[in-house]
Homo-oligomer: A and B are copies of this chain.
Amino acid sequence: MAAVDFEALRDDFPNLADGQPPLHYLDSAASTQKPACVIESIRHCYAHEYGPVHRGLYPLAENASENYEAARRTLARFINAGTTDQVVFTRSATEAINLVASGWAATHLQSGDEIWVSQMEHHSNFLPWQRVCNQRDARLRIIPVDDRGRLDLENAPELFGPRSRLIAISQMSNVLGTINPVREVVEHARRHDIPVLVDAAQSVGHMPVDVQELDCDFLVASAHKMCGPTGIGFLYGTSARLRETEPLLLGGGMVDEVGIDHSSWAEIPARFEAGSPNLAGAVGLATAVDYLSTIGLKAIEQRVRDLTDYAYQTLEAFDEVLLYGPETGNERGGILSFNIEGIHPHDVAQVAGEQGVAIRAGHHCCQPLMQRLGVSSTARASLNFYNNEQDISALADVINETVKLFGKR
């Protein structure tokens, strides 16, 4: 693996290169910054190649359709989907999960069946299952989280039991940074014929993700968390599962024949993409994928791991700081949640903001996990390959200042 000059890559990100004073952006788990190539591809799409996608017979429209479908191919290759039509463009990871909840689970759940999620799931991978369970008189079951912030599979003995109908877990926690043993869960689930949905919102674009290796049934992510544009995400599904799935949205582009009483759906994946496609979104996402692939996902993963180690040590050195989640190492991505004794995370984040350090404070859309941690919120610093050691030093300064301002005197 050729060494990547990550420091130089910072210049690819205009919003990071901009800053005077410098911006220490430690909120990539909320949304990543965008490289110039992605921004340019969107601009170029609108300014010089813009036309409606699908079924136009003039060159501009044909080209737009081709660009849209080429983006799908790029994405399919990126996650190593078996075939291109296993990739459905959605509005977001959130929509993708809702699509599976209402399109697959709602039509496959019997009264008394169970859907399993974990205690560390994002609301987007929790609420849709809660609703469909309530609708179908099914049970939402929770895989507990152990004291080190890992899935406690030992204490979920019925996870692969006879009523388990679907397992939906994240590959990387957006609060704890935990990398979950998805491959292992799928392997067990396969034996009991239980489909697994992987919420890969935090992992795709941050580490190599291979859907065939994971062998999962569904996988979802959002472009904006992987250097791509806002307003687009995707659902991967095996062909068999997608065929079992009803569309969430009905409308233009997803039907074959429309009758007054009944209609027949178009082929997959068009069936799941009602409405005019998000051309610029798909193009921007594909450019992001190309950009990340050129750097190399392994290199990105290693870079973030190095930074995470450094950040973990830096934070650990503070007596007042309580860190959540696994220790550093293979089972942890670049997300660090912490609290400072006696100080509300809002105050930490506010001081940080004033010092040019962008961190997040709150429940991070993980209220069930907050309950498990026994807090109402945490401060969170999250890293991407474009961060550097100065960003982490700046975070240390913030903690010092916060303790000075708000600490018990």
A60 touches B358 (CB 8 A): yes
Of all chain B residues, the one with the shortest Cβ separation from A361 is B57
Of all chain B residues, the one with the shortest Cβ separation from A273 is B94
- Most chain B CB within a 10 A radius of its CB, from A50, A122, A349, A360: A50
Residues of chain B with a CB closer than 8 A to A365's CB = 251-253
**Count class of interface residues, chain A:** 35 or more
A347-380: which have CB < 8 Å to B? 349-350, 352-353, 357-362, 365, 367-368
**In the bound complex, what is the Cα–Cα distance between A233 and B276 (angstroms)?**
10
> Is A42's beta carbon under 8 Å from chain B?
yes
A56 touches B30 (CB 8 A): yes
A 248-262 binary contact with B (CB < 8 Å = 1; else 0)? 111111110110111
A356 → chain B closest CB, angstroms? 8
Interface stretch (choices A148-156, A207-215, A223-231): A223-231
Residues of chain B with a CB closer than 8 A to A127's CB = 250-251, 254-255, 258, 263, 274
Interface stretch (choices A73-81, A277-285, A310-318): A277-285
**Chain copies in complex:** 2
With contacts A38-B46, A46-B229, A251-B127 taken as known, whether A275 is within 8 angstroms of B95 at the C-beta atoms is: yes
> Is A337's beta carbon under 8 Å from chain B?
no
A94 touches B47 (CB 8 A): no
Pick the contact of A39: B46, B58, B349 (CB < 8 A).
Answer: B46
> Is A31's beta carbon under 8 Å from chain B?
yes
**In the bound complex, what is the Cα–Cα distance between A48 and B127 (angstroms)?**
34
With contacts A230-B277, A252-B124, A261-B130 taken as known, whether A27 is within 8 angstroms of B56 at the C-beta atoms is: yes
A47 touches B56 (CB 8 A): no
- Most chain B CB within a 10 A radius of its CB, from A225, A257, A277: A277
**In the bound complex, what is the Cα–Cα distance between A250 and B365 (angstroms)?**
12
Residues of chain B with a CB closer than 8 A to A248's CB = 98, 248
A129 → chain B closest CB, angstroms? 9
> Is A52's beta carbon under 8 Å from chain B?
yes
A50 touches B263 (CB 8 A): no
- Most chain B CB within a 10 A radius of its CB, from A49, A58, A142, A277: A58
Residues of chain B with a CB closer than 8 A to A257's CB = 367
**In the bound complex, what is the Cα–Cα distance between A368 and B258 (angstroms)?**
7
B353 touches A58 (CB 8 A): yes
A 176-208 binary contact with B (CB < 8 Å = 1; else 0)? 000000000000000000000000000000000
**In the bound complex, what is the Cα–Cα distance between A277 and B91 (angstroms)?**
10
Pick the contact of A98: B23, B30, B251, B277 (CB < 8 A).
Answer: B251
Residues of chain B with a CB closer than 8 A to A281's CB = 230-231
> Is A128's beta carbon under 8 Å from chain B?
yes
A2-56: which have CB < 8 Å to B? 14-15, 18, 23, 25, 27, 30-31, 33-34, 36, 38-39, 42-43, 46-52, 55-56
- Most chain B CB within a 10 A radius of its CB, from A130, A280, A350: A280
Ranked 7 nearest A-B pairs via Cβ: A94-B275, A58-B353, A231-B278, A124-B251, A127-B250, A94-B251, A30-B52
A-B contact pairs, 29 of them (CB 8 A): A15-B60, A23-B60, A25-B60, A30-B276, A33-B50, A34-B46, A42-B46, A51-B358, A52-B360, A55-B362, A57-B352, A58-B349, A62-B353, A92-B275, A92-B276, A94-B249, A94-B274, A95-B249, A123-B252, A123-B255, A123-B258, A124-B250, A124-B252, A127-B255, A127-B274, A130-B261, A134-B262, A230-B279, A257-B367
